[in-house]
Structure 1
Amino acid sequence: MWPSILILGLVSLQRLAELIIARRNTRALMARGAREIGADHYPVMVALHASWLAGLWFLAPGHSVQPIWFMLFVVLQLGRLWVLATLKGRWTTRIIVLPGAPLVREGPYRLLSHPNYAVVIGEIAVLPLAFGLPLFAAVFSILNGLMLWLRISVENRALKTAMFLK
């Protein structure tokens, strides 16, 4: 029971830290003239992620941790850190566009257009699997897939438009 609680506690603290970083970065970007795009779907995305984490807190304690899945989750966290380190002050949980700013093409962005979303896709599936919850992983993976389909299309349009707003 304690390993699952420890893992969920660390993931919860990580998410809270990310929200603090995202809020700070959002404010700084907005002060520089950035604009938020797609704000209408943001509360749905937050609710999805909060429900995922709350559901894990409800279901995972008492389940043993599957080492292979957990190690994959750890690798995904390294990917998340790579994304944050690459984007620095431009990383947020919202779609914030700074007109005239060049697209980031370093780090994981050399390999993927949306590496953060690749990490999120993995996390949504892998952490529940680490606790032996395949149905939970499948349900939230489908919901997350629908959310990301919308979000990535909105973000791609916003980034394309921003490149022309100098």
Structure 2
Amino acid sequence: MPNESRSSNNNNNSPSPLMWLAIILVIGGGYLFSRTHSNTSSDPSNKSVNTEQVSKNKISEKKKTSESKAITAKRKQNEKTNYQRYLIALKKLPQTSEGSITHAYYDKNYGTTYITLNNEILNVSDAQLKSAVHNAWNIGENYYDKYSPMPDSVTALQVTVQDESGNRLGHTSIMGNFKYDASGK
């Protein structure tokens, strides 16, 4: 008898959970379909509103695209101009340093700004030399900051200060700080 009551419960015409899921999907899908396609009625005035809106959206997108291209072109031009000014400033550095710097340039191959100090500076105490080298290194760092942004191809984050013989006196460390190389000279 207990088995009969169970079988009578299964046959009482109540939908199974699987059937409920199918019903929810059909109703929900129909609702979503009607929501997404509610603007596509057969009313001709509704279609003209939709085409006007599409036209306005296309014009707006074209305008945004052209503005974006113009901004990108202007930014690239500014970066090139900054780079040219940077090179000119480095070239003028010997005149503005009153002879303590004899040469300054940016080497694209190494992505390094080189600043060459006058050899007369080497005839001072180690502390004075370190200070002079650090000051020259700061000039290189400050020039890069002053004339940034530059094109992506210009990576002048490395500054090397050297004497007229090409001996490295100081440079930018891996961490981006000043590293003195001439101790003991």
Q: TM-score, normalised by structure 2?
A: 0.29
Larger relative contact order (CA 8 Å, sep ≥ 6): 1
Higher strand proportion (structure 1 or 2): 2
Higher helix proportion (structure 1 or 2): 1
Q: TM-score, normalised by structure 1?
A: 0.32
